[in-house]
Amino acid sequence: MSATKIGILGGSGFYSLFDKKNDKEIKTAYGKPSAPVSIGRISNKDVVFMPRHGVKHIFPPHKIPYKANIAAFKEVGVERILGPCAAGSLQPDVKPGDFVICDQLVDRTWGRDDTLFHGPEVAHVSFASPYCSEMRRIAIESCEKLGISYHPKGTVVVINGPRFSTKSESKWYSSQGWEVINMTQYPEPVLAREMEMCYLNISLITDYDVGLEGHAEIKPVTAAEVGKIFKDNNERVKKLIAEIIKNLPEKRDCDCSEAMRHARI
């Protein structure tokens, strides 16, 4: 199989991508990934797709085989990963239907295996900027070109799930100024960083989390609502992905490919 350099991880409501594809089972040192990788073409480039929850959404956020998924992409030659996801808004100006090109994350998960380095080899990778700067720039330019309602930056707080937040938790997250809440945006980016792959998040806002304080008409999120809105907006997501892929240069111009150079001890 020829190497493919671009990988896409589909989120809730995003389980397939190609009309014509070649599915391939991948074995990794970290176990079986969520699904076979699907290999197809977008914007005249070879692309690999995998639904992170599985084709039939059988993996809840805390049970997704994150390491196996990222390793499977690495195995087939992926250098850049696009990680679109369904997400809730924590701020009034970030509305359902908006896209957020996140530049920061806050990890509130627990128990997830989030590193390749458990010893005897030890490493401490830099994660100050968790998302690839080059891919973020291209994503922002692509949103502008397509006229998509978007926010050029934002912090996603990642909760463990599978339950949604309490009102007090959501109020705390909002009070910190964080814009987005999600259950799957960690540890994908840091595992990609340790494998020296670029990672881009596109958060599709589906709801206002538990509602907004002072706005009784905005009700708490439900799983059915998340799935419906993401499904309704799948075509916009696919158009944005195609535009981003079209504009990605062949060679990377970022630090992601050398992330481990000074990380090992």
Residues taking part in catalysis: 207, 209
Q: How many CB atoms lie within 10 A of CB 150?
A: 20
Greatest extent of the chain over all pairs of C-alpha atoms, in Å: 56
Closest CA to 240 of 130, 131, 135: 135
Written as six digits, the tokens of 1 are: 């199989």
- With a CB cutoff of 8 Å and minimum separation 6, the contacts of 14 are 51, 84, 230, 234, 237
Please say whether the beta carbons of 215 and 171 come within 8 A. no
* Strands 155-159, 104-108: pairing kind: parallel
CA distance 32 to 29: 9
CA distance 62 to 120: 26
Please say whether the beta carbons of 8 and 17 come within 8 A. yes
Residue 195 burial by Cβ neighbours in a 10 Å radius (0-12, 13-18, 19+)? buried
Q: How many CB atoms lie within 10 A of CB 30?
A: 17
State whether the Cα torsion 48-53-54-59 is positive or negative: positive
Crossing angle (nearest 10°) for helices 234-247 and 133-146: 120
